[in-house]
Structure 1
């Protein structure tokens, strides 16, 4: 997903950090999915046109760092195939739309072994970062003052540089849509729209129109040329027990939180795959080891068995003291990543044992200094590399780096 927030994992308390250096999206990160899920179609009013559905890309530049290929047959397009492990960075919409800042990040990719950019499509505030053709986006003005003035030109530029592109769609934390369509937001049992303690509005995943809105944006981004769509905040608000006491959800149809998150991802997978892209989802770091959904609707089994790639947000600073027996997690990045990846591999092994195809594991790694916790350390090139090395020792060769300011001290 893109998306740095602070989370101390008792259940994860996120501190959304204000954007800086033109970076509009602060990724207070997430986790999600479900047991037995059913597949359904998104609302017709939000579906892209048939003409767009059958649109196909004809040629791809030969990729030296990473190649994504696709073909279209009867409106069902083959997913891009990655020939090398993804090694990427987060790029906010505002940075992506700034030629000078983007040129700097492209140079970083050129001189290192990085090959991927995760770019905001719909950010943490509910803003779509380019001029959209989705009817509902236009109706509510979610794409007014787009951060990226020429999305097609940007994607063409990145593809010419052999850079794999992932479109980050923040799903259910969407203050803008919730404000414009309050009946789609989580509702208080006492009346009115529910807000989290930071004052954010959340959408209700049980509402079919909410799911369709996000899926329509995801599909459009895939058709524009993104190689992969990544959902972030694909979950319910944290502190689930309190939320359950305060919120009146839309009719659940007998589905618990993990099940409806799973339904959403299956609906999205169908549309995104038809548009020729892969589907990924961000989950809380503790989802790798948690035995339940932590009240937010995310379980390893349900999500990793549905998407192509699962990205646990394994920022050492976000783990509480004592996790994995580590007193100060921020000071021990390698130990945290090693254990988290070991748990993720076990989760995938369990899926294989029961006949399910597991997703690829691609963790988000910490590329920021968590000054709000004590003790903490500066996260520079050495700390980043120690996380990468720890993941590799567990057989996980892909990674994404998160920094809300889009500033990276990375050397390959």
Structure 2
């Protein structure tokens, strides 16, 4: 039996023919007939083998179909001016204050967290504890108040952006440890503060953020924004410590690009746009910084690309600016100019490119020296600088969701 399995169908048929002759004897005529039968069997099973190979190839092609279908980017027709709102704040009385801010300023959009377990979903696993194929989206923790907030914002024609934390997701790691980044000794890898990450090379792990995005689309979000859509920073150190599950042999850049490509294709079926957050310095770099984020790779796969161009996050001396946090307008001008150049390079090669909508600094970076308090004036300087550089859309980040009333 082992010999038959290793020989395959055609080899087995030939062996049976030879064995029969050796046992019962074969005359010339019978040999000729058997030879004819053998040839017929050979042709039959050869065709079956070919058909089987074709089916396997077709199955593989279907599986990879999303990776080869080109993305047609969806234009964002109006300027989007947003603030970030956590799911916790959206479910609190403070949301009323933020809605008033939207009414009293040029703001017309909000970026809402949706994978915190407070808003829409938390990952859960069903069936056998080792069966990860049945990972589902659980709505048990969904908040009716959050759903009411969505409805209220929609009624006010507020543009809704669902923020999904993609690969830096400890909750998902807890649900499916097999998807986590692992050390070379097989143990869970954690960054300095103890947070584990999903391995971006694991395609099966992509399905959770993709399914979460579909859920957001179904309840009325206009756009899905993927944050932490990258590998951990301090790449050289991480690469020494981690054993990536990269059976495909991809680069980090390819993994991130392919994920976003798939995400955009899926969301476009719902008429929902896709955006990606990238480090601010990505807009001024020609490589992926070791984290998989390369501007010219990402900007042709998503509808909107959002560099986090917070002045406080640039090193001293960048663009000749001694203290970036003290010069918000100048930093924003240089950063935007670099992103425009990046898109122009792609356009010259015939690629459509994502709309640039930057994240601006709405927080005080008290951990650096020197720094300044960021209030209405500093926010205004950034918005005006972006506008003068040709960018009329923006988002303001403050993790505590406390924003001053500002005019531009």
TM over 0.5: yes
Q: Distance in 2 between matches of 1:170 and 1:305?
A: 21
Task: Please name the residue that 2:390 is paired with.
Answer: 395
CA contact under 8 A between 1:134 and 1:216: conserved in structure 2?
no
**Cα drift, residue 190 of structure 1:** 1.7
Task: Please name the residue that 1:383 is paired with.
Answer: 378
Task: Please name the residue that 1:162 is paired with.
Answer: 157
Q: Distance in 2 between matches of 1:132 and 1:254?
A: 31
Task: Please name the residue that 1:14 is paired with.
Answer: none
**Cα drift, residue 255 of structure 1:** 1.1
CA deviation map 1:328-363 (0-9, x unaligned): 110011111000000000001111000100100000
Task: Please name the residue that 1:85 is paired with.
Answer: 79
Q: Residue 188 of structure 1: SS of its match in structure 2?
A: coil
Unaligned runs of 5+ in 1: 1-37, 43-77
Task: Please name the residue that 1:130 is paired with.
Answer: 120
Q: Distance in 2 between matches of 1:235 and 1:341?
A: 21
Task: Please name the residue that 1:227 is paired with.
Answer: 222
Task: Please name the residue that 1:71 is paired with.
Answer: none
**Cα drift, residue 253 of structure 1:** 1.0
TM (norm. structure 2) is 0.78
Unaligned runs of 5+ in 2: 1-62, 127-131
CA deviation map 1:195-228 (0-9, x unaligned): 0011100001111111111111111111111000
**Cα drift, residue 254 of structure 1:** 2.2
| Bigger-Rg structure (1/2) | 2
Q: Say if 2:112 is the partner of 1:119.
A: yes
Q: Distance in 1 between matches of 2:294 and 2:78?
A: 27
CA deviation map 1:24-59 (0-9, x unaligned): xxxxxxxxxxxxxx96559xxxxxxxxxxxxxxxxx
RMSD across aligned positions (CA)? 2.3
CA deviation map 1:93-120 (0-9, x unaligned): 001111x211110110001110000000
Distance 1:393 1:261, change over 3 A: same
Q: Distance in 1 between matches of 2:76 and 2:357?
A: 13
Q: Say if 2:197 is the partner of 1:202.
A: yes
Higher relative contact order (CA 8 A, sep 6+): 1
Range moving further from structure 2, 283-292 or 148-157: 148-157
Q: Distance in 1 between matches of 2:336 and 2:401?
A: 25
Range moving further from structure 2, 105-114 or 82-91: 82-91
**Cα drift, residue 320 of structure 1:** 1.1
Higher fraction of helix: 2
Task: Please name the residue that 2:183 is paired with.
Answer: 188
Q: Distance in 2 between matches of 1:388 and 1:141?
A: 38
CA contact under 8 A between 2:169 and 2:196: conserved in structure 1?
yes
Q: Say if 2:87 is the partner of 1:97.
A: no
**1:350-365 alignment, distance < 5 Å:** 350-365=345-360
Q: Residue 378 of structure 1: SS of its match in structure 2?
A: coil
CA contact under 8 A between 1:287 and 1:293: conserved in structure 2?
yes
Q: Residue 151 of structure 2: SS of its match in structure 1?
A: helix
Q: Distance in 2 between matches of 1:200 and 1:142?
A: 23
TM (norm. structure 1) is 0.77
CA deviation map 1:1-42 (0-9, x unaligned): xxxxxxxxxxxxxxxxxxxxxxxxxxxxxxxxxxxxx96559
Q: Distance in 2 between matches of 1:84 and 1:314?
A: 22
Q: Distance in 2 between matches of 1:82 and 1:223?
A: 19
Q: Distance in 1 between matches of 2:378 and 2:91?
A: 29
Aligned length: 335
Q: Distance in 1 between matches of 2:294 and 2:362?
A: 25
